[in-house]
Amino acid sequence: MADPMKIRAQLKGDVAEIRVLMSHAMETGQRKDAAGATVPAHFIQSMTIDVGGKRVVDGQVGGSVSRNPVFGFKMKGAKAGDKVVVSWVDNKGEKRTDEAAVA
Amino acid sequence: MKQNIIGALCALAVMGGASAQSPKKPVAKPSTKAAAAPAAEEKDAATLEFEKFRAEMEESNPAELFEMKGQEQWKAKRGPKNVSLAESCDLGQGVGKVEGAYVKMPRYFADADAVMDAERRVVWCMVEKQGFKFDDIAKQPFANETFTPDITNLVTYVATHSRNMKIAVPLDDPKVRDAYEVGKEIAAYRAGPYDFSCNTCHGTDGKRIRMQNLPNLSTPAGAIKGVQGWPGYRMTGGVMLTHQWRMGDCFRQQRFPQPKYASDAVAYLLTYMIGTANGQVYKGPGIKR
Amino acid sequence: MTKKMILAVAMAAPLMIALPAAADGDHRAKAIAVIKKDFQPRGQAGLDRLAEDGVQAICNRTGNKPPDYIEKAMTADQLATVKYPADGKLLGDWKEGEKIAQSGRGFTWTDNPGLPVGGNCYNCHKIAPKETSFGTIGPSLYQFGKLRGNTAETQKYAYSKIWNAKAFNLCSEMPRFGHAGALNEKQVKDLVALLLDPESPVNK
Q: Which helix (H) or strand (E) holds B213?
A: strand B212-214
Give the residue-averaged pLDDT of C126-131.
97
Structural domains of chain B, with CATH: 63-288 (1.10.760.10)
Average pLDDT in chain B? 87
Q: What is the pLDDT of residue B17?
A: 37
The b/e string for A56-84 (b: 16+ C-beta within 10 A; e otherwise) is: bbebebbbebbbbbbbbbebeebeeebeb
Is the same domain home to C117 and C180?
A: yes
* C199 lies in the same domain as C121: yes
B24-52 pLDDT, tens digit each: 444 444 444 434 444 444 556 777 887 78
Whole-angstrom distance, CA of residue C56 vs CA of residue B246: 24
pLDDT in tens, B249-271: 999 999 999 999 999 999 999 99
Residue B18 has pLDDT above 50, yes or no: no
Contact B191 C39 (CB under 8 A): no
Helix (H, G, I), strand (E, B) or coil at C157: helix
Question: Residue A44: inside a domain, yes or no?
Answer: yes
Please tell me the pTM assigned to this model. Answer: 0.85
B59 to chain A: which residues are within 8 Å by CB? 19
Among B185, B208, B218, which would you mutate to test the C interface (most chain C Cβ atoms within 10 Å of its Cβ)? Answer: B185
Q: What is the pLDDT of residues B118-172, one digit of tens each?
A: 999 999 999 999 999 999 999 999 999 889 999 999 999 999 999 999 999 999 9
**Complex ipTM, two decimals?**
0.89
Do chains B and C touch by CB distance (3+ pairs < 8 Å)? Answer: yes
Number of domains in chain A: 1
**Average per-residue pLDDT in chain C?**
91
CATH of the domain at C125: 1.10.760.10
With respect to residue C86, please indicate whether it lies within any of the assigned structural domains: no
Q: What pLDDT score was predicted for residue C6?
A: 52
How many residues does this entry show for chain C? 204
The Cα B226–Cα B272 span in angstroms is 12
Shortest CA distance from C42: residue in chain B: B257
CATH of residue A51: 2.60.40.10
**DSSP track, chain A:** -PPPPEEEEEEETTEEEEEEE-----B-S--B-TTSPBPPPB-EEEEEEEETTEEEEEEE--TTSPSS-EEEEEEES--TT-EEEEEEEETTS-EEEEEEE--
Inform me whether the C-beta atom of residue C129 falls under 8 Å from chain B C-beta atoms.
Answer: yes
User: Closest Cα of chain A to B115: distance in Å?
Assistant: 35
Decide if C130 touches B, using CB distance below 8 A: no
Q: How confident is the model at residue B175 (pLDDT cuts 50, 70, 90)?
A: very high
Distance from CA of B62 to the nearest CA of C (A): 27
Q: Given a contact as 3+ CB pairs under 8 Å, which chains touch B?
A: A, C
Do both C40 and C100 map to the same domain? Answer: no
Q: Which residue has the higher pLDDT, B191 or B31?
A: B191
Residues from chain B that touch A21, judged by Cβ atoms under 8 A, are 60, 62, 64-65
Q: Could you give the CA distance from residue B98 to residue B91 in angstroms, rounded to a whole number?
A: 7
Domain range holding C128? 94-203
Q: Which residues of chain C does B272 touch, with a Cβ-Cβ cutoff of 8 Å? A: none
Query: What are the two backbone dihedrals, phi and then psi, of residue B115, each rounded to the nearest 5 degrees?
Result: -85, 125
Residues of C in contact with B210 (CB under 8 A): 122-123, 133-135
Q: How many CA atoms lie within 13 A of C63 on its CB side?
A: 8
Q: How is residue C200 annotated by DSSP?
A: S
pLDDT confidence of C82, banded at 50, 70, 90?
very high
- Is the pLDDT at A70 greater than 50? The verdict is yes
Examine the residue annotation and report whether B89 is marked as an active-site residue of this protein: no
Specify whether C99 is located in the same domain as C186.
yes
As for how many domains chain C has, the answer is 2
Verify whether the Cβ–Cβ distance C40 to B42 is below 8 Å. no
The rounded mean pLDDT for chain A is 91
- At residue C25, the pLDDT reads 62
Q: Which of C14, C49, C67 is the last residue of a domain?
A: C67
